[in-house]
Structure 1
């Protein structure tokens, strides 16, 4: 009798522990359900917000990926509701999937380039004449650089995406007062800029540095936005941001493929971006053409050699 009583008593603490374990598991499960539900709702909210606002999908034939490096042509345009527009921002993001190294190359829009099927003109005119495919062919023919994918965003949509991701603004050290032809007035110093202000900062070029200064600021903005995406305080904003990006950003990827590529990059660890600008220093001169205006004539071979070394890939 005493043995039975002892056995029953000895089993009670185990039952209490079991109940506590079940309670904790149930609470954890509930938190996961709530978080998933919130994420889905925010994602759909982002999709609805961006409904029918992105740049139209274009025919695009990317180069075949050979090896571990993939190159993405990133374009920013100011459509203003017009059917045709020039590219205000042209960048090539190069991702080495083996090392997770990310390199960003800005292409000056005034580079004098041979445009297939047309006379030579400024590089940003290629998009106006034949869309992303013609611009891709112009860049590939000029530098032997393979382009595997593309992404386009209209500047108005860029403003909205920034405000969704970082509703309290993106911290930027504004190096001087800026206001001319950017739609906002920025003061020198460190400020949290909203979407419209951040775009204005990235587009400012009315100083002695001109387009070269603007390209440097665009790269600075990309770095700041990368940090905002990875910042812990913005985790709850990410589902809505991703949903809106599906509507605001035009790419040759499917929605799921686009998300998977970004997740692959982020999951491999801290993303550090190395940056460069074409043309490189000492490889260009300014020249005025009657049909193209003030342009940048570059030493193609010198810039091609730099690109090959910087990206770590052989260019044809």
Structure 2
């Protein structure tokens, strides 16, 4: 009887030691993450060229089904008084399933901009910031969002270099150099932050904005895969810390962490993607005040968008 009790006590002590060890490891990892995050923020602030923050008003609306919709915008510099956005996407995260969906909007679509004459979609941001762009998407495509996140491209470059010091592997399908700040040659290769950004922004070919949107989606998937790799996970806090000064958003820090968790720990490594306008739903047009544009069948695209986000 005594031996059995002694065995139970020893087993209980071993169990307690295991719990304490796990708690110690978690604390150590959290401490390491904090140090890495601090180093990242110091790295960014030391550059002396981080963009100034803007005081945007954003009247976002919660999704009635409990999903999280974020308007993602990429800009050259938030320090400018006015700028057009080069990248316009809506990311939808379902907290119940951790499923992530990504909708890319081509910037040359000819749309109604509330309070202004019709123009290209990206002009809405130039005229009234993220909330006017939100209103424009609502009016033309019947989709609303709760949050916005503006990412300065300089922060993207630096974040990639921290996450993947050896670069991220991409298959460059053609020579690219015009208006992207780098010169890329065809072939499978590792791209650093500046090169990866140039790859995503290239549009000086027959595909134009169609090809660029496709590459932007490819880059997002590749970055997610890299972030999930064993060698890169420990670099995530430093990457996030370095990116913070280059991000403007109405999301709280807790919301940002939760969304990053949902995306990275999603049920699938794949991100479901849609490009608006969808195939065979637009024609090329031209207006004197706007130049070359895409004339869109809005009813078709509304239906495709609703089916994609609500299926």
With normalisation by structure 2, the TM-score equals 0.88
Moved more, 76-85 or 154-163: 76-85
1:41 alignment partner, one of 24, 35, 38: 35
Alpha-carbon separation, structure 2, partners of 1:19 and 1:96: 41
Counting only pairs closer than 5 Å after superposition, residues 1-316 of structure 1 correspond to structure 2 as 31-51=25-45, 52-53=50-51, 55-79=53-77, 81-267=79-265, 269-312=267-310
| Deviation, structure 1 residue 161 | 1.1
Unmatched runs of 5 consecutive residues or more in structure 2: 1-5
| Deviation, structure 1 residue 272 | 2.5
**CA 1:280–1:27: 2 relative to 1, 3 Å:** closer
SS at match of 2:206: coil
Deviations 1:37-85 (A, max 9, x none): 3221111112223345465342111013211322211100112842210
**CA 1:61–1:16: 2 relative to 1, 3 Å:** closer
Moved more, 35-44 or 158-167: 35-44
Tell me if the contact between 2:225 and 2:269 (Cα under 8 Å) persists in the aligned partners.
no
**CA 1:298–1:17: 2 relative to 1, 3 Å:** closer
Larger radius of gyration: 1
Alpha-carbon separation, structure 2, partners of 1:20 and 1:278: 58
Tell me if the contact between 1:246 and 1:255 (Cα under 8 Å) persists in the aligned partners.
no
2:3 alignment counterpart: none
**CA 1:20–1:72: 2 relative to 1, 3 Å:** closer
SS at match of 1:256: helix
How many corresponding residue pairs? 307
| Deviation, structure 1 residue 27 | 6.7
Alpha-carbon separation, structure 2, partners of 1:20 and 1:98: 36
| Deviation, structure 1 residue 140 | 0.6
1:7 alignment counterpart: none
Tell me if the contact between 1:54 and 1:249 (Cα under 8 Å) persists in the aligned partners.
no
Alpha-carbon separation, structure 2, partners of 1:92 and 1:116: 19
With normalisation by structure 1, the TM-score equals 0.87
Tell me if the contact between 1:202 and 1:218 (Cα under 8 Å) persists in the aligned partners.
yes
**CA 1:143–1:295: 2 relative to 1, 3 Å:** same
Moved more, 256-265 or 118-127: 256-265
Unmatched runs of 5 consecutive residues or more in structure 1: 1-11
SS at match of 1:103: strand
**CA 1:217–1:23: 2 relative to 1, 3 Å:** same
